[in-house]
Amino acid sequence: MKTVSENRAFGGVQGVYSHASTATGGEMTFGLFLPEGAEDGPVPLVWFLSGLTCTHENAMVKSNAQRWAAEAGVAVVFPDTSPRGEGVANDAAFDLGQGAGFYVNATQKPWAPHFRMWDYVTDELPRLLFNAFPLAEEAQAITRHSMGGHGALTIAMSFPGRFKSVSAFAPICHPTASDWGRKQFAAYLGKDESTWAGHDATLLMRKRGFDGPILVDQGSSDQFVDLLKPEALAEAMAARRQGGAVRLQKGYDHSYFFVSTFMEEHIGFHAKALYG
């Protein structure tokens, strides 16, 4: 692992690190904010999975997560959204290829050799983090934005007991019924739609739910709301009587202005679950 940069922030340290990844077959970069309390021992960890076109840097710079994480005494990790570099398949469209990994393990050409973001985020990167930094493996939460919201919800429901809480900003809630999902799943996973269900938050909610609290915020003026389908997840949560909330925030769009506005509430939501 290489240290790209480390900067003092809100009493803690915002670092950027890179490493050779077995899962993706190339160099991966991530950001990690450690609060001041990490100097004395392991601290809880909140995962922030970003959305389409993003790198590790977008949420790290724009979400203001470090301010509230420092107050709550939790670390925040910002993984990249896809493999990158020479020899990694790409597409001219913004919603496929580099910057659009969709947190799945691709099985189709030309994506399969590198696009294994499910394994990277759920296995390889956690092992690296808990070996290298003062983080409490038993105290994890996960949040995200847009495509990352899709990833956070599906990962949280697929690993019972790993995460104390899950939240999302404008997540892709029902990708098997949306052009933000069907296109990518067909490319990465193939045309057999039975292989898609494990990556659809609405279908997973109907099938198994989440063993903790959920918080989802959606802007009422989000230009992509018809692709995100928050109503499908809300209906599935209500039918299952899942503990949690899907909130419609009047006038907000899909941007990081929206995310940063409600970041304090989301970090507080996770801190409450993490610290019991």
Active site residues: 146, 222, 254
- Number of Cβ atoms within 10 Å of the Cβ of 25: 16
What's the Cα-to-Cα distance from 89 to each of 83, 93, 147, 184, rounded to whole Å? 9, 12, 19, 14
Cβ contacts of residue 191 below 8 Å, gap of 6+?
none
Q: How far apart are CA 273 and CA 256, in angstroms?
A: 24
- Number of Cβ atoms within 10 Å of the Cβ of 273: 20
User: What is the CA angle 91-92-95, rounded to 5?
Assistant: 70
- Number of Cβ atoms within 10 Å of the Cβ of 53: 15
Q: How far apart are CA 79 and CA 202, in angstroms?
A: 24
Structure tokens at 84: 């990158």
What's the Cα-to-Cα distance from 241 to each of 175, 206, 246, rounded to whole Å? 22, 10, 13
Q: How far apart are CA 121 and CA 49, in angstroms?
A: 9
Q: DSSP readout, 52-86?
A: TT--SHHHHHHS-HHHHHHHHT-EEEEE-SS--ST
